[in-house]
Structure 1
Amino acid sequence: METKSSIFHATHGVMTKEVGVISGDLELRTTCSDNGVLTLAITYVGAEEWYTLPGENYHLHDPRDHEVVHRMLTAVLERS
């Protein structure tokens, strides 16, 4: 299992399942299991409570793509 984390600034916000839209300085955490199951979590920088992004059952065909997918997600969420 591999976890990646990135900090970014979301001016317009990111939708979460639990609390709706959050914005500002955020941290994205993606975790990929050995069989490609991908989980996504987001929090305010320095906060302890993590939220989930909408959607479910994320699965990578090849777990080696985790790094690229994580970077793409960070870039897209930062533009939100």
Structure 2
Amino acid sequence: MEVKTSTFTATHGVMTDEVGVISGELELRTTCSDDGRLTLAIRYVGAEEWYTLPGKNYRLHDPRDHEVVHRMLVAVLKRP
């Protein structure tokens, strides 16, 4: 299992399942299992509670793509 985290600033917000839209300094965590199952979580930088991004059952065809997918998610979530 591989975990990647990145911090970024979301000026217009990111939708979560639990609390709706959050914005500001955020941290994205993606976790990829050996079989390609991908989980996405987000929180305010320095907070303890993680929130779930909408959607379920994400799966990568090849777990080696985890780094690229993580970077793409950060780029999309932080765009103005």
What amino acid maps onto 1:4 in structure 2?
A: K
Q: CA deviation at 1:55?
A: 0.3
Identity %: 82
Instruction: Count residues with an aligned counterpart.
Output: 80
Unaligned runs of 5+ residues in structure 1 are none
TM-score after normalising by structure 2: 0.99
- Distance in 2, Cα, partners of 1:49 & 1:76: 22
The Cα RMSD (Å) is: 0.6
- Distance in 2, Cα, partners of 1:10 & 1:36: 27
What amino acid maps onto 2:65 in structure 1?
A: D
- Distance in 2, Cα, partners of 1:22 & 1:55: 17
The corresponding residue for 2:16 is 16
- Distance in 1, Cα, partners of 2:79 & 2:14: 10
The corresponding residue for 1:29 is 29
What amino acid maps onto 2:32 in structure 1?
A: C
Unaligned runs of 5+ residues in structure 2 are none
Instruction: Give 4+ residue runs of structure 1 displaced > 4 Å after superposition.
Output: none
What amino acid maps onto 1:79 in structure 2?
A: R
